Amino acid sequence: MGRVVWFTLGGIAVGILLIHPVAMLAYTMKHYQAPGPINLTSWLHIMRLAFGPGVVHMGLLFALLGGASGFILGSWFVQKKRLLAETIESQRNLAALETLRELMVTLAHYIRNANMVVGGFSGRVLKQCPDPELQEEVHLIHEASQEIDAVINSLQNLTEISTVEYTESSHELIIDLKKNLEARLAKTLQSKDQKQG
């Protein structure tokens, strides 16, 4: 808002100090009947008239016109600057999101291959293992494998990046996937329960 004020004050100054005397000069030149051009003495006389008490109302009108023009110009300038900053920020976010997607596709490929082996073997061991205590431990491995898949899917389907602090004591940030991840895990567990039931 400060720039708009400065533009407005600048417009008022231009209206009083430049536009008003030039308008007076143009008017005088139109009605000036002396032979020859206007000299410095007559220009100074016109300047004195432009700031004299008899034409204060005219000076105020030019000040108002200059101030309104300055306000409009200042508002346009501030708006343009704000829009440019928003555009740059949007482009940065888009580039960061695109880079994250490319990274996730690469990581997902390798992590999923390894996770498929872990999940596949743990699922097979769960079906064949008679020991309930060992079955519970293998079940935890199998759930962790499904959780890894849900994290990868969540990261691949990000449409915006929001971050949270990793821990309260550190200032490191992590990508906030909590809601998305919880929904995917619930869906995975629900479909698993339906298959078993």
Q: Which of 156, 194, 162 is nearest to 178 (CA)?
A: 162
Contact 28, 95 (CB under 8 A): no
Q: What is the pTM of this model?
A: 0.46
- Positive/negative CA dihedral, 47, 50, 54, 56: negative
Q: Which of 164, 170, 117 is nearest to 145 (CA)?
A: 117
pLDDT in tens, 102-161: 887 888 888 888 888 888 888 888 888 888 888 888 888 888 888 888 877 777 776 666
The domain spans of the chain are 2-88, 95-196
pLDDT in tens, 44-82: 777 777 777 777 788 888 888 899 988 998 899 989 999
